[in-house]
Structure 1
């Protein structure tokens, strides 16, 4: 055997040993399906944006991209509120699984589905449909973006009802570490969404050419398909997460208490986050439709870089919650540290790509030289954000898995609502730094949030959070 073959075998042995570490293996087993689902979901979203950016009329293309960005911000408020409720579901189900209280898991799932639909998804959808123009005007939409985006917003708000159901079921499945099922179902739905977008945006195969409205219709249909598949899966009863629709439902005050105790700070965090982002978007939207289109493309690429942090944050929530349920406090900390380590490695790799290949990435979305130049500068700043963003997302996921949602709220309040918005105003409106100034504010925001979450994690007090 040659020296090169010895070295190659040695590297394989080291990699195998690294992967076989029990803690690391648990993290990877739960995180990889979530990571694949989120990454491919973001890629599908990027493809959707590219399709809109490639509409023949360049002014219509820019208006369509801007319209999606503007309408997505209020939609994300609703999504974030549902996600906040689901934080409680994931933490509680993981804890109940660890404590071998499986009889409480189905009850928790029913509570979360009903609360997310009746208190959030349906009322918010109605408000969005009735007040579409007012909401888009508040968001700073120019006349062209309002014209092309009005119907898109109405359609995606209908799809939001089904999306909220999907999120609740997926959160419950992830709480028990079952991440492959939501991955498979959501990828199928996203794939169909991309095909539907191509058909309806451009009017292929004899279908009407609907532009951005066609993208909304395709998105809504894909959410319906995912809901049907998830519902069939949980009523079959093949998983610990199951739904017996014949079994009488009654509210459980302890489950409500836990959901409120965990979910209210998480909801407030998302409200603060989305309020800050809305104000931030208004500042950027004031730079004009073309610059806002560049910003939206930057956000689309940023969402891709968020996925490792979010995937390993979900893994941290599940594993930390489960081990706290079995009272293995030191192992809970080990899981949190390992998820942060692996997620940060992946995010750093992505940061290098963003920094050096920004123009090429933006060129996939648009041929406009101004958009490419503006978005490429933003991507260099996004690359610098990566280490802090990833660490913050993963450690915050661990805290939420423990049921400690107060400190992520504090971190978001200071980072987004105070630092990001204030600095964006100073850098954009006073110093005139344009889009680069807005993204400089994002960098400082992520640094501040990371400091708050990291210091809270270091105290170890999150290990002693109690649930009823």
Structure 2
């Protein structure tokens, strides 16, 4: 009898081990993890480094200057993010096209797509926005709701960051192309190295270590801008090597291609409008929050910094879904495209939910890493509890929207964002903050409503399966 029990137990253990290894060896899941984990590490490390930068500013000895510096970074980053989001939207079209061409075994078309994306980004977005930001720094910051102390702290920071923006937009185009062909490890390695240098540079220039002067928030800007320049050099060196999987020849004469432009317009314009709508909505939202005062806005900015870390799994798996769905549709394998989308959503959502639990139960401890101001700790930790509730819906929405973009279906993410941001986030925040006087809690409740609505629209569109039949030339 005991022998029979022992045999059954051994068979059960073998079966469990078999199930475990079959989970690891599942080809769909394996492909998802192979592509997504470098993106996830890259984004998480970027967020962590950004959090460390914010902590450094928050721990400046003068509390008033520390709060003004944190608020200045938040206010100046918002208009810059508009430019970055527009560049990223154009890159969405590049990623979708490159993934389709690679899936269809038309690798020779990748060079032309990347060159078009880089030129369009620099000539029509990066350079004009850089000039506008330099010329109208004070006007932009005042429009954002900056108070006198924030304006003084952030004026030079904004100008220096705009220089870095030129190089950052260039780097984003190359990264998007690499992700389109399924290469995610190289951007990860480059970004980790560069961000490590940035953190060291921030520490040296903010506090005046070694023989450098203490430059505060201006030092953070100089270090960040230089890191983008270094990243550009490393990106170009990588893609011009003979063994690079992304075949680009910058010596080859550029030729205008009407088909590339048509595809970029078809995919990129709705994505650009989505990004623009999101950033304008967030900008209006930030103005509402900035009206609560410098200390409350600093609390909000710290909550956003931590939020940036928590939604990175959704971003990473959304990028993976975009690449894999695009390549599967290029190979005309519709079933595989759907399988990749569902698997990325499942894994990414599980990771995000785990992170949400950490935010909910350990919010105060996380915020205390940024500041020892009790008002900031109370307000930011309250916001983190609401963020924790947002997380599962936000992650699912980001991943499925990434799958839709990879298919070239960028209209419905635009609809979802427009309704969610303007119809709910901005309107509700105005009511809850200014009319009902719920303070920062009211603002974050509006964010919760926005994410729920966006999830509803994106999930509904994905369920129709119409995204599988979007045509690119």
TM-score range, shorter chain: over 0.9
Count of residues in Structure 1 that have an aligned counterpart in Structure 2: 468
Alignment pair present for 1:140 and 2:145: yes
SS of equivalent to 1:236? coil
Structure 1 residue aligned with 2:31, among 15, 26, 35? 26
Alignment pair present for 1:244 and 2:272: no
- The corresponding residue for 1:67 is 72
- The corresponding residue for 1:200 is 205
SS of equivalent to 1:156? helix
Q: Structure 1 residues 233, 433: closer, same or farther in 2, change over 3 A?
A: same
Q: Structure 1 residues 3, 204: closer, same or farther in 2, change over 3 A?
A: farther
Alignment pair present for 1:274 and 2:272: no
Query: Does the 8 Å CA contact 1:309/1:390 hold for their aligned counterparts?
Result: yes
2-structure distance, mates of 1:8, 1:355: 36
Q: Structure 1 residues 429, 20: closer, same or farther in 2, change over 3 A?
A: same
Alignment pair present for 1:337 and 2:337: no
1-structure distance, mates of 2:423, 2:127: 31
- The corresponding residue for 2:444 is 439
- The corresponding residue for 2:3 is none
1-structure distance, mates of 2:357, 2:15: 27
Structure 2 residue aligned with 1:117, among 122, 125, 129? 122
1-structure distance, mates of 2:438, 2:90: 38
2-structure distance, mates of 1:83, 1:92: 14
Judge which range, 326-335 or 1-10, deviates more: 1-10
- The corresponding residue for 2:309 is 304
For residues 66-85 of structure 1, the aligned pairs below 5 Å read 66-85=71-90
For residues 425-436 of structure 1, the aligned pairs below 5 Å read 425-436=430-441
- The corresponding residue for 2:328 is 323
Structure 1, unaligned runs of 5 or more: none
For residues 120-131 of structure 1, the aligned pairs below 5 Å read 120-131=125-136
- The corresponding residue for 1:262 is 267
Post-superposition CA distance 1:57-101 (Å, at most 9, x none): 000000000000000000000000000000001100000000011
SS of equivalent to 2:246? coil
Post-superposition CA distance 1:216-262 (Å, at most 9, x none): 00000000000000001111132331321221111100000000110
For residues 95-174 of structure 1, the aligned pairs below 5 Å read 95-174=100-179
- The corresponding residue for 1:93 is 98
Q: Structure 1 residues 7, 198: closer, same or farther in 2, change over 3 A?
A: farther
1-structure distance, mates of 2:420, 2:146: 26
State the 1:122 CA deviation. Answer: 1.1
2-structure distance, mates of 1:422, 1:443: 13
Structure 1 residue aligned with 2:46, among 13, 28, 41? 41
Structure 2, unaligned runs of 5 or more: 1-5
- The corresponding residue for 1:390 is 395
For residues 352-363 of structure 1, the aligned pairs below 5 Å read 352-363=357-368
State the 1:7 CA deviation. Answer: 8.6
- The corresponding residue for 1:230 is 235
2-structure distance, mates of 1:122, 1:386: 35
SS of equivalent to 2:240? helix
Query: Does the 8 Å CA contact 1:237/1:243 hold for their aligned counterparts?
Result: no
2-structure distance, mates of 1:273, 1:329: 30
Question: How does the TM-score come out when normalised to structure 1?
Answer: 0.98
Post-superposition CA distance 1:415-442 (Å, at most 9, x none): 0112100000111001111001100000
2-structure distance, mates of 1:169, 1:237: 16
1-structure distance, mates of 2:223, 2:30: 37
Post-superposition CA distance 1:138-167 (Å, at most 9, x none): 000010000010000000100000001110
